[in-house]
């Protein structure tokens, strides 16, 4: 693995750590605010935090390569498309959680780990390789052990909404994959949150009751999810995906389920079952397979090349 790919993988893994811990904050925030209000405020906070940083990175990028009308158009298009996908993904997830348990919701949402390579193969003819497919299969098994209760999987009313959420997250990951190397990553994250936040607040104003007391009560969860989960975590995704394929990125991002369980143990004092421990081990193996896949493929190609000489 080259240095850039390693750096990208580490950024995505750190993002997964932040997102895993955010589950605790989101649960606390929902005690005071309704879904669209909470999502809208934290997304707008994430955009606000990134605004001065994006101005600085934009100036540096302009000094190296002055922007053209075409580059500005691509930058705006990237933020708009990624923001729309993120808005629908988070909205479908929040509404789906009303009808479906959090554990199974996490499992269905994270099925983007399967949908990303399938969509990449069908839309862009990108074949991730057998080792990555093996990692994907392991990750799905790990997610099942981590998220679905021992009683089994039952179809419920909100499951269709969560499947739509997984599809939208797949679109967001592929959208970032197509634009990350062509635009300023910080500005892309800022615009993505701005679009998502504005759309969420529009829906909230028509469907929910926003109160100052609710905002004050949810202030700490808002600060964590807005500054760290949005401002830092999603920016790490954008920057990390510059050097990592969409399929490998989806595997690394699925580690948030592992870190969510570990955070619950450390912060909330929850116990980890043998089933959850096995899921964590399987997920770690899936991620390791994703990381060593390029090395193994390179060795195989060299052997094939020598054999043909």
The number of distinct structural domains making up the chain is: 1
DSSP the chain: --HHHHHHHHHHHHHHHHHHHHHHHHHHHTTTS-HHHHHHHHHHHHHHHHHHHHHHHHHHHHHHS---HHHHHHHHHHHHHHHHHHHHHHHHHHHHHHHS-HHHHHHHHTTHHHHHHHHHHHHH-----HHHHHHHHHHHHHHHHHHS-TT-----TTHHHHHHHHHHHHHHHHHHHHHTTTS-HHHHHHHHHHHHHHHHHHHHHHHS---HHHHHHTHHHHHIIIIIIIIIIIHHHHHHTTSS-HHHHHHHHTHHHHHHHHHHHHHS-PPPPHHHHHHHHHHHHHHHHHHHHHHHHHHHHHHHHHHH-
- Of 71, 72, 24, 15, nearest in space to 46 by CA: 15
Contact assessment for residue 237 and residue 45, using Cβ atoms and an 8 Å cutoff: no
From 53-57, 188-192, 223-227, 269-273, the region with the lowest mean pLDDT: 269-273
Torsion sign (Cα): 204, 206, 208, 214: positive
Banded pLDDT at 309 (limits 50, 70, 90) = very low
Banded pLDDT at 89 (limits 50, 70, 90) = very high
Q: What is the pTM of this model?
A: 0.81
Supply the range of the domain harboring residue 230. 3-308
Banded pLDDT at 210 (limits 50, 70, 90) = confident
Position 188 pLDDT exceeds 60: yes
Choose the most confident range, by mean pLDDT, from 9-13, 109-113, 282-286, 290-294.
Answer: 9-13
pLDDT value at residue 270: 66
Average pLDDT over residues 116-124: 81
Choose the most confident range, by mean pLDDT, from 223-227, 269-273, 278-282.
Answer: 223-227
**pLDDT digit string (tens) for 227-246?**
998 888 888 988 898 888 88
């Amino acid at each position: 693995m080259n240095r850039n790919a390693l750096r990208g993988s580490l950024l995505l893994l750190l993002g997964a750590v932040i997102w895993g811990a955010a589950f605790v904050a989101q649960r606390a925030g929902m005690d005071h605010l309704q879904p669209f209000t909470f999502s809208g405020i934290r997304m707008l906070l994430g955009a606000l935090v990134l605004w001065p940083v994006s101005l600085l990175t934009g100036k540096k990028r302009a000094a190296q390569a002055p922007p053209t009308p075409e580059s500005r158009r691509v930058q705006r298009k990237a933020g708009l498309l990624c923001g729309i996908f993120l808005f629908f993904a988070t909205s479908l997830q929040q509404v789906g959680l009303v009808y479906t348990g959090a554990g199974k919701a996490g499992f269905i949402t994270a099925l983007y780990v399967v949908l990303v390579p399938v969509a990449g193969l069908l839309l862009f003819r990108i074949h991730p390789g057998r080792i990555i497919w093996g990692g994907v299969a392991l990750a799905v098994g790990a997610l099942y052990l981590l998220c679905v209760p021992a009683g089994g999987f039952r179809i419920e009313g909100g499951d269709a909404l969560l499947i739509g959420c997984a599809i939208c997250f797949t679109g967001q990951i592929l959208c970032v994959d197509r634009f990350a190397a062509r635009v300023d990553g910080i500005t892309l994250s800022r615009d993505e949150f701005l679009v998502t936040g504005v759309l969420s607040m529009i829906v909230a104003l028509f469907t929910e009751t926003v109160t100052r007391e609710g905002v004050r009560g949810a202030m700490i969860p808002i600060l964590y999810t807005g500054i760290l989960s949005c401002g830092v975590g999603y920016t790490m995704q954008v920057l990390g995906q510059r050097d990592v394929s969409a399929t490998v990125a989806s595997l690394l991002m699925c580690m948030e389920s592992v870190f969510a369980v570990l955070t619950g143990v450390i912060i909330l004092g929850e116990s980890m079952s043998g089933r959850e421990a096995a899921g964590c081990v399987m997920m770690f193996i899936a991620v390791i397979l994703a990381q060593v896949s390029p090395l193994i493929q390179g060795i195989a190609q060299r052997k094939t090349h020598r054999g043909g000489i």
